[in-house]
Amino acid sequence: MKNRAYSQVVKSKSGFTLIETLVVATIIMLLTGLIITNYISFIERNRVRTAAEEARNFLSDIQNRARMGHRGSGRCGVAQGGITRAYQVRGERIFLDHWFVILEHNHMRAYVACRIDGELVQEREQVVHLPQGAIFVRSPGQALPQFIHFPALYRNPRGDIGQDIVVTDANRRGYPLYNYFYVFNITGGGAISTGDFCTMGADGICVR
């Protein structure tokens, strides 16, 4: 009788220990899954932030080229001399008009535009790709490409006041999404804001 009772106690204790083990294993699996999810989220958000900073720096560089009257490296830029919008090279009268950037999916293209004897000439100067996995998007109802103009020797961007530039992760571009959109803005005074992550809904409103 004593042996039988002792055996039942051992079985009872063994069963309880097994349940505890299963509970602990389940908790560990849940925590591991949460850590992995948070790590992936951190990597994706960091990629988006880095891409947005690169885009912002590139736009700022092109804006400075326009403000300083930089003429590019092609037909628009062969002249030497001081900063001026109108100049003459090999008998051709050249008028520096503006710089502009085209944002498309995962890259940016910068152009310089001038008028040579009255004819508009647009020359591509530089192409920069976003880090792999990051893309440009626009609010619902708006489509890429996105054009941003910087008139030569002028402070304000022409026709682009208040534009939002939006960068997100290629795998999380649907609407609505929580906190995977990084938005910065070109203000009316020509300043380019630092930007931040936000939540963008189907209405296109970005809430930080």
Q: What's the mean pLDDT in 60-66?
A: 91
Q: How many C-beta neighbours within 10 Å does residue 95 have?
A: 17
Highest averaged pLDDT of the listed ranges 12-16, 78-82, 162-166? 162-166
Q: What's the mean pLDDT in 156-178?
A: 66
Spatial distance between the Cα atoms of 80 and 111, rounded to a whole number of angstroms? 20
Instruction: Look at residue 127 in the predicted model and tell me its pLDDT.
Output: 96
Q: Per-residue pLDDT tens for 118-130?
A: 888 899 999 999 9
Q: Per-residue pLDDT tens for 66-83?
A: 888 888 888 787 654 444
pLDDT of 100 strictly over 70? yes
Highest averaged pLDDT of the listed ranges 29-43, 87-101, 107-121, 175-189? 107-121
pLDDT of 44 strictly over 80? yes
Nearest one of 168, 192, 191 to 180, comparing CA atoms: 168
What are the structure tokens assigned to 53, written together?
């900073």
pLDDT of 176 strictly over 60? no
Q: How many C-beta neighbours within 10 Å does residue 63 have?
A: 20
Q: Which residue has the higher pLDDT, 113 or 156?
A: 113
